[in-house]
Chain A
Amino acid sequence: MQLSPEQLEFFAEDVSVKIIPNFSLSRASQGSAHCIGGDYGPFQPNFPMEVPLWLALYLHRHKKCRIEAPDWMSIDSLQGLYEQERLIAAGFQPIPYHYIEVSRLLLMFAKDSFGNSFHRTRELVEMIRKVRFNKIDSGLQILQGPMTVKLNNLSAMELNTIRPFFAGALDQFWKLAQMEEPQELSLQPSATYTQGSAEPPVRQLRRGVAA
């Protein structure tokens, strides 16, 4: 029922980033890579182009390109985001769905993409993370019963972190709401139908419905 953080990072690696390659591929393949997921190229030295993050990181690791930091990671953008996030207490600011994964990968493996703003960028992303998580925390505290909740603008990593607690709590609330009276363990077959569904009568064992 759970996705691992590594899996989220794997998914985030499909996000597009701009790179500036310093190589070109042979003419035999039209200078492009014909991958299953799409055609990437043609690669020409000093010509900026877009590729998925996994490819950008691979090429960068082998010193074949420079990665350009995405627009939303500029100091001004992040600063604005942070201020909006603090200003508007209800709801969350629109932010790239994989912002945590992408920023982590770039800040760790492509430091040269940020130049002098590296430390400030890292600091700002941390601050934004903290503010958003605080909001999530206070939102979770007002959970009272089984309900459907709108979560617009939450990011993948944030959702995944609160998934066990949030979904688990809602599951429990729901289970409690379904119980009219405490079920007693009985040796006689009792006709306890669940919710008018067509399921056959099941004698309740103490542990309840199989999870």
Chain B
Amino acid sequence: MESEAAPGSASQLDPTNLYGESDVATIKQALINEQVCPELLQYQEDLVNRLESQISHQEAIIKDLNEDPEQDLLRMIYTVELQRIKYSLRCYLRARLKKLEQHVMHCLDDPNMKDRLSDKEVKYAEDYFLLLGQHISTNVLSAMPQDFKGLLRQSSVSEANDTLARPNLDKHVFCRVLEDQGSVEVDEQGETVDFSKDDLYVVRYRPIQDLVRDSWVQLI
């Protein structure tokens, strides 16, 4: 299988992760995971911060090269690469925001989920929830009968906040096994499947949730 990590040695700028992959490859995998996974995953704060500082560092270098017409080609190479990295970063953040908007009430409600958001995302979620709530209240709920006016509960006799849109963890996803995991339970009935290194599977997300979180399995 052809290598997908960036070739060449890692420059002094970027540390490499467990598999010797550069930050560029890591953000790529993170973005694939976010786009394909039904739920919001842990925000990769360190990775994003490192990339942002590398980006501004590189932008300064490009600016310096601007003065020298002989360095045109080099400058263009740096610029193209920068565009690619910014695109990856944007896709990552946008995929997260999209899921955040779908599940905003759940993310704010559940401390587990709230933990996975960056500070800016929490602020975004709160603002979005406020706007959404106002919109629904004025346009829809004000016209509903008294017992059904709640934003969070379907009716006043509901026992809990049940209008929350929870992510559907039973969706099927494609994944690649990064390390041998032996038998993995994929079913409440106890059916197991052998996860060996480099296997590709289509499987329900819920049973492999922890494997994804700990990076034993990557989504594709």
A contact residues vs B (CB 8 Å cutoff): 1-3, 7, 10-11, 13-16, 23, 25-26, 28-29, 33-40, 50-52, 54-55, 58, 62, 64, 70, 94, 96-98, 102, 146, 148-154, 156, 159, 163, 166-167, 170-171, 174-175, 189, 195, 199-203, 205, 209-211
* Interchain CB contact under 8 A, A10 and B200: no
Other-chain contact of B84, A54, A97, A148, A203 (Cβ < 8 Å): A54
Q: Are B159 and A200 in contact (CB under 8 A)?
A: yes
Q: Kindly list chain A residues whose C-beta atoms are within 8 Å of the C-beta of B77.
A: 33, 35, 40, 55, 58
Contact present for B172 and A16 (CB under 8 Å)? no
Residues of A within 8 A of B54 (CB): 36
Beyond A1-B36, A3-B35, A200-B160, 17 extra complex contacts between A and B, CB < 8 Å: A10-B87, A15-B2, A33-B78, A35-B77, A35-B78, A36-B81, A38-B6, A40-B7, A50-B8, A54-B84, A64-B73, A156-B220, A159-B200, A166-B202, A189-B158, A203-B162, A211-B168
Give chain B residues whose Cβ lies under 8 Å from the Cβ of A36.
Answer: 11, 13-14, 22-24, 51, 54-55, 58, 81-82, 85
Beyond A171-B172, A210-B168, is A15–B4 a contact (Cβ under 8 Å)?
yes
Contacts of A62 in B (CB 8 A): 73
CA distance A97 to B200 in the complex (A): 11
B side interface size, CB within 8 A: 66
Indicate if the CB atoms of A189 and B85 lie closer than 8 Å: no
- List residues of chain A with CB within 8 A of the CB of B149: none
Are A96 and B1 interface neighbours, CB within 8 A? yes
**A25:B73 contact, CB within 8 angstroms:** yes
- Whether the Cβ atoms of B6 and A189 lie closer than 8 Å is no
Cβ-defined partner of B199 (8 Å) among A97, A152, A211: A152
Interface assignment of B5: CB less than 8 Å from any CB of chain A? yes
A174-B189 Cα distance, complex, nearest whole Å: 13
Q: What's the least CB distance linking A50 to chain B, in Å?
A: 5
- CB-nearest residue of chain A relative to B91? A7
B188 on interface, CB distance cutoff 8 Å? yes
What A residues does B87 contact at CB under 8 A? Answer: 10
Instruction: Tell whether, in the assembled complex, residue B168 and residue A148 are in contact, meaning their CB atoms are under 8 Å apart.
Output: no
- Knowing A26-B71, A35-B81, A159-B174, the reply to whether A1 touches B193 (Cβ < 8 A) is no
A156 to B1, CA, bound (A): 12
Task: List 10 tightest A-B contacts by C-beta distance, closest first.
Answer: A200-B160, A37-B6, A38-B8, A37-B24, A210-B165, A167-B172, A151-B200, A170-B172, A38-B6, A148-B203
Give the Cβ gap from A145 to chain B, nearest Cβ, in Å.
12
Q: Are B6 and A201 in contact (CB under 8 A)?
A: no
B7 touching A171, Cβ below 8 Å: no
A98 to B84, CA, bound (A): 18
Which A-chain residue is minimally distant from B38 (CB atoms)? A1
Task: Determine the distance from Cα of A195 to Cα of B188 in the docked complex, in whole angstroms.
Answer: 9
Interface string of B25-64 (1 = CB under 8 A from A): 1001000100110100000000000010011001000000
B62, chain A: closest CB distance, angstroms: 11
B146 within 8 Å of A by Cβ?
no
